[in-house]
Structure formats: structure tokens, C-alpha cells
Amino acid sequence: EALVSREWVHLTGYSFFEPGPREVALRALEVCRELGLPFSVDPSSVRPLRDYGAECFLEDVAGTEVVFPNLDEARELTGLDDPEEVARALARRFPVVALTLGAQGCLVAAAGRVGAVPAASPPGPAVDPTGAGDAFAAGFLTR
């Protein structure tokens, strides 16, 4: 019911890594699919992703419109090393891949193409990168 009036749903990988939240996340994606509501996912963290299993995660998030992995998460999901190859491999599963590369910006893969987007220069020194991926995803999804 809460999803009916939404334009987009974004979930983090942490939503899938524990049984309680996983049940809610899977139900939310099921409703999104039923309503034709687009959704995006950020894998969140490589260690719990590894523990959960890359293939399980990829199956759970099938139908995701945009995926936002960092390079370590993307490597875990694909088994590949090169950032561009990783982005291309994920783009075979997802319409849009925004592969974050920290201070090097990101690679965006869509429609058979991969493009590099440089990171903006911060106005001052970065104190803590916590939440940077979440902020990036929010900005990316804002149209």
C-alpha cells in the first residue's frame, strides 16, 4: 500500500542480508514488479554480500532498473577485475549500472555503452566517506 503512490523505490543490499529485513525487501520488490514501479539497488558492502552470495543477491534483485555497486562489490558480483569489464558484465543483467570508483568518479553502463564520469572536486578535505555512495545514488536518481 505504501508503494502505490511512489515514483521510484531504492533499496540497499543490507535489506537482503538478514532474514527479517530480507522478507520485507523481497515483498517490496515483488510489489514493485506487480505495479510496474521502477526500483534500484545498492549492494551496500562487499563482506555481507560475499556471505550472502553473489548469485543469491543477483536473483533477488532481478528486474532492477539501476544498480549502484562500488568496485569491490561489483567485482564480487561478477568475478571480474577490470572496472570497464565489470560494468559491462553487470549491464548484461541491469539496464543501467552506475559503478562508483571513489575519487576517480564512476563508470555508467547502459544501452551497450560505458562512459566515465569524473568525480567533482570537493570544496575541502573529505573527512569520512560514510554515506558517499548513498548520496551519489540519491543524486543520480534525481531527475
Which residues form the catalytic set?
134
Contact between 70 and 100 under an 8 Å Cβ cutoff? The reply is: yes
As a whole number of angstroms, the distance between CA 33 and CA 87 comes to 24
As a whole number of angstroms, the distance between CA 75 and CA 5 comes to 35
C-alpha cell at 53: 552470495
Kindly tell me the burial class for residue 95, based on how many C-beta atoms sit within 10 Å of its own C-beta (0-12, 13-18, 19 or more): middle
Which amino acid makes up residue 37? L
